[in-house]
A and B are shown apart, each in its own frame.
Chain A
């Protein structure tokens, strides 16, 4: 079962929830945590696990072969991203603009633009008891997060088979990286805070999840901070609010040192138990099926 933790607004507590939920679950069962916020991956700052290894991740970029090229111009014409240009009698490829669609490479009549691997980031994997942890980090200067997110999910699918709970810590926002991180999730937990900005970005995230036809629910973090508008919105829209984490300075202080919270703060443990109960009560969750037998 894949559970994505997303938010719209940044800094609402996605990583806090993902890392605490995964570690708490792993105390009693196999759990996978994948950090898909590849631009700024932070889960690894909270998970103490032994490094299992790392691998470079690549995207495919065309490379010009001057010997074969006749400067016919087809590659430039077919590239919708202006990633190929001709200067004098040389073809130049701009890797940052390339979307790896292969059109130029495969439509070139002379095979003068073979696709070559180019490093875009690194994937690391860790193991600690029941917890498998995977994180990817985009190289600085690389602009496209989506290919690395897709490869990280593919890695999890390949290496972590079976019906265990897989938690995906998604990037903030509502555009392509978020869609890539949530589009195959069985459940999306939207973390928000009870403020006008939290509400505005929550409503954007809700619209995105509706467009993706995902099942989703809400966790309110920093409960008690702002006003009740987020809760009224969820009631009005019929969105389940499955848990609340209180607004406490001590939570922010533990977080600031990279510490997990549920051992220290009982309100966080209570919230995690509610979230797990909600997950386990869903069809497709391993535990419920066993209970029903």
Chain B
């Protein structure tokens, strides 16, 4: 079983639109995993049924029992995250700032602080419109540990792929280079980098491909909106060649992307469109990597 992860560094390059389109083409052979848990959007294109909802707990948050607390202030002085402040004369934890390190609960002289398991979100094993299974998640507002939720979604996707003897797990990752991205890369067999021919597209591609290089995973690149700026497109092509990254496709600037999204469809459902033809041949290349 192979695991293909789609990332982009920069947001808004068309990563999710493309991944959803490939998921549609891959239909029966794949399991889809939406690992952009911060802003999960694959459901707009693939219409999963949000079945099998499961709670996800990760990390802890400090809770002060006001009946026991003597307001000595030791916890607030100890906390490196400035998460304990005095509100109306009482020491209070701001859950959004608390990192769950547990230091305050260990040093509280009267044991007024407990560490409560943090409910950070939910994950689902859904069926999408092609009948394929999709693993996805929803994070609670302001929750932490998105990297751990990514790891869980990926682990379940792999487990189901093995059980159902699917050839491929297709993962939509997050923008950036931080913990959710690192988490989505671990164990990947091939990485697809989606970029656009803009100054920021190239800049972010360089950073994210350097990160992929650290994992020693083979990667290929799709240049979306390729005709927007020929000069930048050529620079990207040169960068790919220099760094031994497969050049998978150039996709022209096309409002089919938006039309598809507005109607809740993937681009590959628009039979006969020029984008669909490009995507079909690109998908064939990817599957054979």
State the A residues within 8 Å of B (CB).
Answer: 8-12, 15, 37, 39-40, 42, 45-46, 78, 80-81, 99-103, 106-107, 138, 140-145, 171-177, 179, 183, 195-197, 200-201, 204, 207-208, 210-212, 225-227, 249, 252-253, 255-258
Is the CB of B80 closer than 8 A to any CB of chain A?
yes
Task: From A80, A177, A211, give the contact of B178 (CB < 8 A).
Answer: A177
Which residues of chain B come closer than 8 Å to A100, judged between CB atoms?
Answer: 80
Interface of chain A, helix or strand or loop or mixed? loop
Which residues of chain A come closer than 8 Å to B38, judged between CB atoms?
Answer: 172-175
5 pairs from A and B in contact (CB 8 Å cutoff): A8-B39, A39-B178, A40-B176, A175-B144, A256-B196
Beyond A12-B11, A45-B199, A173-B38, 16 additional contacts (C-beta under 8 Å) are: A37-B176, A99-B101, A103-B102, A103-B106, A138-B178, A173-B174, A175-B143, A176-B142, A176-B144, A177-B176, A195-B258, A201-B39, A204-B141, A207-B141, A252-B228, A256-B198
Smallest CB separation, A243 vs chain B (Å): 19
A174 in contact with B106 given A45-B203, A201-B39 (CB within 8 Å)? no
B204 and A143 form a contact (CB under 8 A): no
Bound-complex Cα distance A196 to B42 (A): 11
Task: From A81, A171, A195, give the contact of B261 (CB < 8 A).
Answer: A195
Smallest CB separation, A49 vs chain B (Å): 16
A144 and B178 form a contact (CB under 8 A): yes
Bound-complex Cα distance A225 to B261 (A): 11
State the B residues within 8 Å of A (CB).
Answer: 9-13, 16, 38-39, 41, 44, 59-60, 78, 80-81, 96, 99-103, 106-107, 115, 139, 141-144, 146-147, 174-180, 182, 196-201, 203-204, 207-208, 210-211, 214, 225, 228-229, 231-232, 253, 255, 258, 261-262, 264
Smallest CB separation, A231 vs chain B (Å): 14
A138 and B39 form a contact (CB under 8 A): no
Which residues of chain A come closer than 8 Å to B59, judged between CB atoms?
Answer: 80
Bound-complex Cα distance A258 to B12 (A): 16
Name the CB-closest residue of B to A196. Answer: B44
Which residues of chain A come closer than 8 Å to B12, judged between CB atoms?
Answer: 9-12
